[in-house]
Amino acid sequence: MAKRRLAKPPSAKEKRQAKSRWTAWALIGGTVVVVGVMIGLVVMQSGSKSTRGKAHVGSPAPDFTLRLLNGQSVTLSSLKGKPVVLSFWASDCPHCQREAPVVAKMYANYRDKGLALLSISVFWDTDSGAKKFVEEYRLPFPVGRDSDAVIGSLYGVDSTPNTFFIAKDGKVVGRVDGEMEEAAFEQRINSLLAS
């Protein structure tokens, strides 16, 4: 019969090596988990960007009350029955600065045809910047501040300029993220008035 040898207890060096291997695998596993979580968050965030807010083309426009710079207030639902343009902007946005005269011209050309326009300075703008912007571009339509980001959240606004077109029945019929040229703006308004 063969003799069985008893296993020798590991040496201090072998214990350190085993601990070192375990630590390395734990670090690798932890890193994989952290990277996976980060990738998941990025994917979720980018996937939710297009579904953020309640204002989608074809859906009813979310109602809100806008406090105007002149101290009055206007509620979107009070404009039902009129075609409405919502224009979100920031005073320090170069695209908004270029678009402001176009928006003012469109309003001047179409307000007598029933067009309503609400101009909304976004929450990251300042009161003084918004007031200066209105004076500089002589905006002839109601202008208010979304200083608490409620309206921007309803409409999923995270950049400027952002323009929404709302039909007489209160449904969102168009959204443009970014600056619009005069011809494109005019085409959108004509379509809005025809709906």
Q: Kindly list the catalytic residues.
A: 96
Residue 26 CA to residue 34 CA, distance in Å, equals: 12
Contact of 85 with 111, CB cutoff 8 Å = no
Place of tokens 């060096």: 13
Dist CA 82 CA 192 (whole Å): 10
Read off the tokens for 119: 């101009």
- List b or e across 43-60, with b for residues whose CB sees 16 or more CB atoms inside 10 angstroms: eeeeeeeeeebebbeeee
Q: Which letter does DSSP use for residue 150 in this model?
A: H
Three-class secondary structure of residue 86 per DSSP: strand
- Separation of CA 53 from chain center: 8
Question: Is 120 strand, coil or helix?
Answer: strand
